[in-house]
């Protein structure tokens, strides 16, 4: 069933898109890559919004970071990789009766999402550089970013999800 485009839905997507973009601006270069808080924002977004809206908000927010942050060649890849990552994390975290409230399932969702990002950006870097070996240099930054995201989002995500539940926002 197609979900309606309500004002509330558009505002929530826009809010989380902005959160993802701003969080990605909080970054530190690590070798050929960077550690940023965008992954943390993506994980929290995926607990609150449904999978499709999470993909739009997270992929779109990080896409905008790439456009405005000087990484324009990465922008279309980011839209796809981070959108897919958010979709997968939301699908796992909100599966069955868990609804983003189970720390173990959330942890699993974050790890699977991290693998999606790692593989997606590895092949993005291979495509952009034309070099399978040189692209390996970005893996430490990706692993570090995902690790920081997991460490922050596990406790914070559940608290934010609980707060949004009180606002009567339904992910479905």
Please list the alpha-helical segments (H only) found in 4-138. 7-25, 38-48, 51-69, 75-93, 103-129
pLDDT over 80 at 36, yes or no = yes
Domains and CATH numbers, the chain: 7-166 (1.10.1760.20)
Which pLDDT band, with edges at 50, 70 and 90, does 90 fall under? very high
Which pLDDT band, with edges at 50, 70 and 90, does 3 fall under? confident
- Measured N-to-C along each axis, helices 103-129 and 38-48 cross at an angle, to the nearest 10 degrees, of 130
Which pLDDT band, with edges at 50, 70 and 90, does 165 fall under? confident
- Distance, CA of 71 to CA of 168 (rounded, Å): 37
Residue 157: alpha-carbon gap to chain centroid = 12
The per-residue pLDDT for range 43-86, each reduced to its tens digit, is 999 999 999 999 999 999 999 999 999 999 999 999 999 999 99
Residues 6+ apart with CB under 8 A from 25: 36, 65, 69
């Amino acid at each position: 069933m197609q979900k309606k485009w309500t004002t509330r839905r558009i505002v929530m997507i826009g809010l989380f898109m902005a959160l993802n973009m701003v969080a990605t601006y909080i970054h530190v270069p690590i070798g050929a890559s960077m550690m940023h808080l965008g992954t943390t924002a993506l994980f929290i977004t995926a607990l609150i919004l449904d999978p499709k809206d999470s993909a739009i908000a997270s992929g779109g927010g990080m896409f905008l970071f790439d456009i405005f942050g000087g990484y324009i060649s990465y922008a279309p890849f980011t839209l796809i990789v981070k959108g897919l990552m958010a979709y997968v994390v939301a699908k796992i975290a909100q599966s069955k009766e868990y609804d983003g409230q189970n720390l173990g399932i959330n942890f699993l969702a974050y790890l699977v999402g991290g693998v999606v990002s790692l593989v997606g950006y590895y092949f993005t870097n291979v495509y952009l550089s034309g070099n399978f070996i040189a692209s390996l240099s970005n893996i430490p930054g990706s692993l570090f970013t995902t690790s920081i995201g997991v460490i922050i989002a596990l406790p914070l995500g559940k608290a934010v999800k609980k707060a949004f539940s009180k606002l009567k926002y339904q992910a479905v």
